[in-house]
Structure formats: structure tokens, C-alpha cells
Structure 1
Amino acid sequence: MTDTTTPTTGAIDAEWVEQHFDHLSPELARDLHPALALARSKCPVAHSDQHGGFWVASAYEDVLKVAQDWQTFSSELGITVPRQGEQRKVLPVTIDPPLQRTFKKLINIHFRPATVAAWESATRDLVNRLIDGFIEAGECEFMEAFARPLPGMAFFDLALHAPAEDLEEVNRLATLASSPHLPESRESHGKLALWIKDFLEERRRSGPRDDVVDAVMNAEIEGRPITLEEAIGTIHLLILGGLETTAGVLGASLLRFCAHPEIPALLREQPELIPKAMEELLRLDGSFICIGRTARNDTELDGRQIKAGEQVLIYWASANRDEGEFANPDEFDVTREQNRHIAFGAGPHRCAGSNLARMNLRIAYEEIVRRLHDIRLQPGADVHYHSTFNRAPLSVPITFRPGPRVFPADS
């Protein structure tokens, strides 16, 4: 169950990871994990001459240090290297404590384990209805048929109480906005913000729902009402953080199931292992792969001198496969005793929606291994990824043994 650790192209070599690391390159999108393994072995804290210059941290302890030390490594000073184009403040990820904690508290209370647990039955119905849509055919494009609709539909209905008819377009905009190397990314950020503005106006007209949207709209920030721009930025984060990230994990998991059919077979026989398997899949294939910080003052990281104003890109995806933290880090090991992965980030900006994401993933895995048998990639499938901050397969065309529906076709 081990992944390759050698890049498939000569474009990424020791010199590239030590001096010319480019998070926007298609070579990195294709060879992400081998490239990060090379970075860890050659230069865990490297300075790249790309995009005006920035630092890259790839080792577990260094990534964790930067993420937790917000007083030295700021989120609010403006990250120009890892994000191109649109610079809208996506709150609270682009601000630091103590103000960040005020915004985070608005969100956290609506994604507590007890709150999310109440959505489990509706989520399982949704998962099975999505599977019903393709199970009789014995084939599907998994990203389109399941991975992208599931987190979006669950989040739109259960958390935002947003119009179902808007989901497809918002999913599309969120995917593009998460891909700053694409020319449509900046425009998609703007269109997504306009949709949120209209949505908030409609919610004010329609009355309270006692949900996270109400909490954001009616919030007081430092003794004053939240501004419209702040409310838009907060909802913006919820959408970007909740849709494409979960979809990416689901797509990568299905690719792993296809490459290693013993994994779904084991989980089908022992479904009680699914929670631990989920954590291992998040560690190996988490789609939230990196984020940027800016040094507030001169500092040192792993012996390298970082000056005030310089930017640091920290790689969660690399930390989660660091040989110094995880034994046999490229192997799927459901018996792993210690799994301190940081797939949801770390420090004050750790993902507020992790409970919801875990529930969506757990139920998806439970129903997929129960209902889909003999899962394989379609012959000739050529899988590509979009990859800058969130990594997701563009398509995962699969075949499987046709099966029966759970719900009547006309339900």
C-alpha cells in the first residue's frame, strides 16, 4: 500500500526543490508527494527564487511551529506569493488573534460534534441517493456524480439553508476560486462574493433560521455590528473550506481504493475500522495541502534566517508524510497507533468545519464500501489534479459491479 517517492519527470530535482520551488507548476501538481519527500530530505526549509522569492517549509515540526506561532508568522499581513489575483479577505483565515478568535467563535458553535451529529441521518440519505444515481450503470465519473455534489449539497442544505438550485454554480465557482493558477480564478472569487451578498440579502428578508448564517449576519465585532464585507468574507471561507476540500479527499480515496482493492475489501468486512481508516486517508490524501504566512519580524526556522516581511509557504501534505513523525509514512496502515496528522491545519486557524467533514467522509466510506464492489479505474483513464492550496483530482472515471437502488426511482 505504498506510494512511489520518485518524481516521474526530470523537471523536479534537488535544485528545483532547494532553489526554484513553484507551487503553481503543473509538475508539482502531478508529482506532489515525491517532490515534497525530496524537499524534506534535501532542504526542509528552502528559499525559492520564484514569484519574487518566498520560503517553503516541508518538515512536520517546522510546519507545526509556523502554524501555531501566529505572533511571529502572520496571516493578516497579506500573502501575495501563494495567492495570485483576488485578494479579498476570507475571514477569519486572513486575520490573526485576538480578532480572529471572535470570528472563529461565530463559526465553531454551529459545527460542534453534537450539532453535526443531528445531520447524520439526512447525510446518509443524501449519500445513498447520490449512489442510486449511478449504481445501476456500473460506471460513473466519480467527481461529478458523487465527490463534488455530496459536500456541497449537505453544506448548502444543512448548514447554510441555501437554495438547492444554486449549488451547481457555487460548486463550480468554489472549484475555480481554489485554483489560483487558472485565469478564471480571480473572476470566480468575485462572482462567489456577489452570490453571497445576494444570499445574505435574501436571508435577511426571509427571517431567522438559528444557523451559522444568522450568527454571522447578526454578529458584533469589537462592540460594533459586523460589516457586510466581513459577513461576505466569513461565508466565503465556509464555502471554500467546505466544498472542494472534502471533494478532493473523496476523489483521492477512490483512486486509492482502485489501486489497492484490499482497502475497501477490509473495510467492507470490518466496518468498525472505517473511523481509523478515514484518519489514515486524511493523512495520506488530505486535499488542504498548504497555506501561506508572513514573518512579522526577523526570525529563524530550522537554522535559516527569515527576515520581517518575507513569506513562508507551509505544506500540510508534506508534514503528514514526514518520516520523522510517521513510521512508513507513505503506507496506508489502519493499525497505526499514533496519527497526529494535520490535514485540517493546526494552530488558531485549524479548520472549523472538521467535524462536518469527518461525518461526510465517514458516511461516504461506509456506504461506498457497502454498495460498490470491484471498483476500478476505467480503462485508459488519465487522472490529473488541480493543485495549489487544495488538491483534487479533476476526474475519477470508475467502473464497478452494477447494483440495486435503495430509493425508488421516482422518489
Structure 2
Amino acid sequence: METKIAGPVLIDDEWVEKHFDHLSPDLARELHPTLARARSRCPVAHSDQHGGFWVVTRKEDVLRVAQDWKAFTSERGITVPSPPGPPMKILPVTVDPPLQREFRQLTNPYFRPTVVKEWEEPTRAVVNRLIDGFIEDGTCEFMEAFARPFPGLTFFDLALHAPAEDLDEVNGYAIMASQMHRPEARECLLKLAGWIGRFVEERRRQGPRGDVVDAVMAAQIEGRPITPEEVVGTIQLLVLGGLETTAGVLGMAMLRLCEHPEILTALRERPELIPNAVEEFLRLDGSFVCIARTARNDTEVGGQLIRQGEKVLMYWVSANRDEAEFDNPDVFDLERARNAHVAFGAGPHRCAGSNLARMNLRVALVEIVRRLHDIQVQPGADIGFMSTFNRAPESVPLVFTPGKRVSEPTSF
């Protein structure tokens, strides 16, 4: 009997092996159990959905696809939940080496550990001001009050040196543009691009500041000056690459802390384990779920022949729970000896902002552990997930013991 995909989906073995649908709400609800079944039964499987594509779930095969850009191009992706209208090119995620390397070499020096370390205390100030906004109430919607505004407020200020009076407005555009499933996402993406264009023009009238914006504006690409469109696209990727992904990890981390208060207790008793906790949150609860590639030629992966032009969807979050790579992969282990996760991707397109993301998560976790007590998800709350591409909770309503502010009221 033929399996029907329309309507409510029963995720059974046939669905996993032949009808895998990366856009299914059922997959969003049952993501990790479904991917575990795929790793076991069909680690490289072909789905007949959305015109057909391959699903890759084991770490060894995920790395094979991610690192071999000559065999698998980033220039043509797969069906994704994107806002309507003409496609917008966000660089360099949509191009391959060697051109991709030229764009990456522009930005990488500005996100090295030594640079990011200088942003730590200003970041801590932002974290505490946001916590101050709700700590006296003993309740908050964590995604709205903290997780989503936090990464953008720090990035626009510390990395781009955006005008203080623009922070609220542009961060609002960026937050909404990062949530591609929302109908207003495209409008906000256009508004963000417009703001970047105006911001760059104003920066050209100012003296150099020695930051990533100066580097992008002055760049030579393939021996010619970078175009205005490429400047906007490059800065846009820097913005969008770290907002909803960081927010998603923070939201998932808070859910895990509420479900397992013993983790919070352990971190209060041994705060030196907080960096380890960040790595486990990234491995188990990373929000960068999957990414697509297209085969340039006939290629074998995991014993399956993938033909030229066929789409491949590789799951980072599945690779991070691969039983062949991690001992007790589903266990949150604060003293895990080896944690070679791929939460930031792999290959030439690995996230350029990984150092910044780690610092943001570590500083946020330090202050959350220190200041919020008796944290629980509000009774009866229904936690939903907006996408299987970026696994961020739709909302995380919390209750906790009210605390005291540490700073004067501040408007960002």
C-alpha cells in the first residue's frame, strides 16, 4: 500500500527511507529520534519529496560532502522555507572556492579569538542589562526578552560599530529577517539590506576605523574592486549568520536547564565547567540543523551513487549524535573528553563567527547561572519549533525566583 504524505505524517521506516521531508512539522517535533533511525537504517537515503534529494546523516558522510567542494557545490541548494520574491545573494555562502576564499579572507581576521576577547566585558554588560529587564518580575518569555535581541545588539555595536541610535531598529530588522518562515521576513530582509547600504555610504564619508566594515569596503575581488552589491551581501551574511543560530542555542539550552536542574547545580558548584557546557549545548542542541549541496558529477557517498545535479541535504545535528563518533551521544556530559562536533559546520563554509558565538554563549551562561534561580518553564506551556533548518524554540516562557537589578534602566 502506498504511503500518503499529504496531511498528518506518520514517521515510520518507509517515511525515513523513501519519503523524508525536511519541511515536515512532524520532523520538527521528532527530529532527533527520526535522524537516529536514519543513521541506523539508511545513513545515505534518497527521498522522493520536493523533486527528490539525498539525506546524509552519519558524521563520516556529512564531512565527506561538506569538505569536498569540488564534488558538491554550494551554488545551487534545495527547497527551503524562504520568503517570496526574487532570490537575494548573501555572500560568500552561495559561492564556492576559490572565490569563496577571497570573501572569507576579508572577514576572518576580525573574528579571531584575540579580537573577540576584547568584546567580552561589553558583551557581559549587554547580558546583564537584558536580564535586568525581567529579573524583578520572576517571569519572562526568554526568546523575546533575551535570546533574540542579545546577539544582534552586541554584533551591531562591537563588530560593525553601528550608530547607537540605530541599534533597536536594525536589530529588529535582523531578528525578523532571520526567521524565514514569517511572512514579514522578506520585507525585513530588504530593510536590513537598505540599512546596510546607507550605513556603508556613511562609513565611506568617515575616516577608517580598522574594522571588518573597512576591510569589506576596500576589498579587491578577483583583481577588481568589490561591487556595492557584494559589500551589502557580505555584511548581510555576517549579520544573519549569527543571530537566530545563537538565539536558538540559548533557547534550547534554557529548556535543557529547566528539564535537568542538576546541570544548573553542577555549573554553580563548578563554574569552570561552563566552557564544557557550551560545547555540549552546541553538540546536542545546536540550531544549525542542516545544509544543502548539489553534486557536480557522479559521486559515491556511503555506498550510494549520487548523480550529477542531484541535491544532497546533510544533517549537522545528526552527525553530532553519531554513535560511531561519540560515547553515549544523547547524554549531556560536562566532562566529555572528546567533543569534535560540527555545530558550526565543516569545510570551506564553516562558520566564520564561531569564536564570537562561543564567547556570547559562555558569557550569557555565566550570568544566567549566577543570576537566575529556580528556573522552570511555565506550567502548561507548549514549546514549538519554527523550522528544521534552524532549530530555535518559538517561545520559552519561564518562571523563576525574582531577583535584583545590577544596573540602571538603559534603553538600547
User: TM-score range, shorter-chain basis?
Assistant: over 0.9
Separation in structure 2 between the aligned mates of residue 90 and residue 38 of structure 1, nearest angstrom: 34
* 1:196 and 2:196 matched: yes
3-state SS in 1 of match to 2:401: coil
- CA-to-partner distance for each residue in 1:190-235, whole Å, 9 max, x for gaps? 3332232222222223332211111111111121100111111111
Contact in 2 for aligned 1:82/1:313 (Cα 8 Å):
no
Separation in structure 2 between the aligned mates of residue 165 and residue 49 of structure 1, nearest angstrom: 50
3-state SS in 2 of match to 1:391: coil
Counterpart of 1:67? 66
Separation in structure 1 between the aligned mates of residue 274 and residue 35 of structure 2, nearest angstrom: 28
5 Å-filtered alignment, 1:166-315, equals 166-315=166-315
Separation in structure 2 between the aligned mates of residue 186 and residue 79 of structure 1, nearest angstrom: 19
Counterpart of 1:160? 160
Using the TM superposition, give the Cα deviation of residue 43 of structure 1 relative to its aligned residue in structure 2, in angstroms.
Answer: 0.9
Counterpart of 1:3? none
5 Å-filtered alignment, 1:3-22, equals 11-22=10-21
Residues 219 and 159 of structure 1: is their aligned pair in 2 closer, same or farther, counting only changes over 3 Å?
same
Counterpart of 1:350? 350
Counterpart of 2:54? 55
- CA-to-partner distance for each residue in 1:273-300, whole Å, 9 max, x for gaps? 0111110110000111111111110011
Contact in 2 for aligned 1:81/1:311 (Cα 8 Å):
no
Counterpart of 2:386? 386
Look up the equivalent residue of 2:353 and give its one-letter code: G
Contact in 1 for aligned 2:375/2:400 (Cα 8 Å):
yes
Using the TM superposition, give the Cα deviation of residue 163 of structure 1 relative to its aligned residue in structure 2, in angstroms.
Answer: 3.4
- CA-to-partner distance for each residue in 1:221-250, whole Å, 9 max, x for gaps? 121100111111111111111111101000
Counterpart of 2:146? 146
Using the TM superposition, give the Cα deviation of residue 409 of structure 1 relative to its aligned residue in structure 2, in angstroms.
Answer: 4.1
- CA-to-partner distance for each residue in 1:331-355, whole Å, 9 max, x for gaps? 1011111111000001111110000
Counterpart of 1:38? 37
Look up the equivalent residue of 1:58 and give its one-letter code: T
Separation in structure 2 between the aligned mates of residue 180 and residue 22 of structure 1, nearest angstrom: 18
* Aligned alpha-carbon RMSD (Å): 1.8
Match of 1:79 among 77, 80, 100: 77
Using the TM superposition, give the Cα deviation of residue 19 of structure 1 relative to its aligned residue in structure 2, in angstroms.
Answer: 1.3
Separation in structure 2 between the aligned mates of residue 171 and residue 39 of structure 1, nearest angstrom: 38
Look up the equivalent residue of 1:213 and give its one-letter code: V
Separation in structure 1 between the aligned mates of residue 16 and residue 183 of structure 2, nearest angstrom: 25
3-state SS in 2 of match to 1:393: coil
Contact in 1 for aligned 2:9/2:26 (Cα 8 Å):
no
3-state SS in 2 of match to 1:387: coil
Separation in structure 1 between the aligned mates of residue 49 and residue 196 of structure 2, nearest angstrom: 34
Look up the equivalent residue of 2:300 and give its one-letter code: E
Residues 10 and 296 of structure 1: is their aligned pair in 2 closer, same or farther, counting only changes over 3 Å?
closer
Separation in structure 1 between the aligned mates of residue 179 and residue 128 of structure 2, nearest angstrom: 30
Aligned length: 402
Separation in structure 2 between the aligned mates of residue 301 and residue 216 of structure 1, nearest angstrom: 37
- CA-to-partner distance for each residue in 1:98-146, whole Å, 9 max, x for gaps? 1111110111000000000011111111111111111111111111111
Greater Cα shift, 178-187 or 136-145: 178-187
Counterpart of 2:371? 371
3-state SS in 1 of match to 2:333: coil
Greater Cα shift, 359-368 or 383-392: 383-392
3-state SS in 1 of match to 2:96: coil
3-state SS in 2 of match to 1:46: strand
* 1:92 and 2:120 matched: no
Contact in 1 for aligned 2:344/2:354 (Cα 8 Å):
yes
Using the TM superposition, give the Cα deviation of residue 53 of structure 1 relative to its aligned residue in structure 2, in angstroms.
Answer: 1.0
TM-score after normalising by structure 2: 0.93
- CA-to-partner distance for each residue in 1:1-22, whole Å, 9 max, x for gaps? xxxxxxxx96212111111111
Structure 1 residues not aligned, in runs of 5+? 1-8
3-state SS in 1 of match to 2:294: strand
Look up the equivalent residue of 1:46 and give its one-letter code: A
